[in-house]
Amino acid sequence: MSKQQGRHFLNIPGPSPVPDRVLRAMDMPVIDHRSAEFAELGKQVFEGCQKIFKTKGPVIVFPSSGTGAWEAAIVNTLSPGDKVLMVETGHFATLWQQMAKRWGLDVEFLPGDWRHGASPTEIEEKLRGDKSHAIKAVMVVHNETSTGVTSRVGEIRAALDRVDHPALLLVDTISSLGSVDFKHDEWKVDVTVSCSQKGFMLPPGLGFNAVSDKARAASKTNKMPRSYWDWEEMLKPNANGFFPYTPATNLLYGLKEAISMMLEEGLDNVFARHKRLAAATRAAVTHWGLEVLCQEPEEYSPVLTAVLMPPGHNADEFRKVTLEKYNISLGSGLSKVAGKVFRIGHLGECNELTLLGALSGVEMGMTAAGVPHRAGGVDAAMKSLEDADKSNAPTHLKMVKP
């Protein structure tokens, strides 16, 4: 096979493309992880993470995947037999639920259609009926990577407050943190779970837990066994910039640089950019005559767009044609939606031109694969971006039609 020229378009919803600036930051000699130089790196990373999570509390960084961070959240706060409330928003919510069951938790799993986020109203009703406070935690996925649906965590917190329920709030922000606004302290989240390879724009390998005082108190009395994942064993050396075991040193160099990039752009600008690119993607999908999987506009994901294939056409066959002809990777449908949807990632290091290049690959791929569609989706996306640019321009620079 001949090698395709040009940079590969990685438009899956994570791992996201790693910026050259972050790659260069990681291209460093390994240093002594017990040295003063490393301690300074550690302190800078911990402080930077607090800004991204929007918390004044500790952010614990594990050498792990997001799945490890899921497990850390469970084993540090809950005990075997505890009842927890979870919501079926998609593939990853289902996997977290399966993990909770394996740890011996009594999971009430509210069914969902994979086209909507977690319902604050339904959660409130369940908690209002829990007069004995048997439910020890509410566990939700903020941005469901398999469906392109973002749940309204702030409203879920308000629901807990309205019924004055003491349950812990555990939130998976694996595909949202750094791309979608998230307020750990303001929303009184007890454990926020995340990882490195999405909004942080790093390779896989780091898992995060941001923890509240309430969560730390629970960790001192819960009965779940842990060793590697123990928060307190991490927090003691973290206070001086160190880890209890060998950390992923060069990923931490990259993390420091990625945080700098986000703060230089400004978090509000980062979030606005993701919303702008997501809207342009949906404009293209709608023009093509295809359907966005998410059905609630208020829950459209800024991170990715999941697209339903027309009847009689397989998403994986389309993805294969598009990869082979145009060197672009699109996300596959998972479990219940396997073969039925493809996912366009527009997170991390993505701007207007890289998005338009990706959408061009999708549109040409549909033609090559014989997928029925209306040509001109890229033009619709361009118009969406141009309109957003005009509306955000300073008054004295706004263009006036002749």
Residue with tokens 């752009």: 265
Q: Which residues are annotated binding-site positions for substrate?
A: 343
Say if pTM beats, i.e. exceeds, 0.85: yes
Confirm if 160 and 138 have CB atoms less than 8 A apart. Answer: yes
CA torsion sign for 286, 292, 297, 300 is: negative
Phi, psi of 162, rounded to the nearest 5 degrees: -60, -35
Q: Where are the domains of the chain?
A: 9-16+266-397, 20-263
Residue with tokens 């395709």: 4
pLDDT value at residue 402: 40
Give the SS3 label for residue 78.
coil
Residue 311 CB-half CA count within 13 A: 0
Give pLDDT tens digits along the chain (402 positions).
567 889 899 999 999 999 999 999 999 999 999 999 999 999 999 999 999 999 999 999 999 999 999 999 999 999 999 999 999 999 999 999 999 999 999 999 999 999 999 999 999 999 999 999 999 999 999 999 999 999 999 999 999 999 999 999 999 999 999 999 999 999 999 999 999 999 999 999 999 999 999 999 999 999 999 999 999 999 999 999 999 999 999 999 999 999 999 999 999 999 999 999 999 999 999 999 999 999 999 999 999 999 999 999 999 999 999 999 999 999 999 999 999 999 999 999 999 999 999 999 999 999 999 999 999 999 999 999 999 988 876 544 444 444
Confirm if 346 and 178 have CB atoms less than 8 A apart. Answer: no
Structure tokens at 123: 């959660």
Give the SS3 label for residue 162.
helix
Which residues fall within 8 angstroms of residue 308, CB to CB, at 6 or more apart? 290, 291, 292, 293, 340, 341
| Cα three-residue angle 353-357-361, rounded to 5 degrees | 165
Which residues fall within 8 angstroms of residue 255, CB to CB, at 6 or more apart? 45, 48, 49, 61, 196, 200, 202, 206
Give the amino acid at 255. Answer: L
215-253 core/surface letters (b: 16 or more CB in 10 A; e: else): bbebbeebebebeebbbeebeebbeebbbeeebbbbbbb
Q: What is the CATH number of domain 9-16+266-397?
A: 3.90.1150.10
- Rounded to whole angstroms, what are the CA distances from 319 to 271, 341, 363, 371? 28, 10, 12, 11
Q: Which residues are annotated binding-site positions?
A: 343
pLDDT value at residue 394: 55
Q: Would you say how long the chain is, in residues?
A: 402
Residue 294 gets the label, from left (phi > 0), alpha (psi -120 to 50) or beta, of: beta
Give the SS3 label for residue 402.
coil
Report the distance separating Cα 6 and Cα 162, nearest Å. Answer: 54
CATH architecture of the domain formed by 20-263: 3-Layer(aba) Sandwich (3.40)
Give the SS3 label for residue 262.
helix
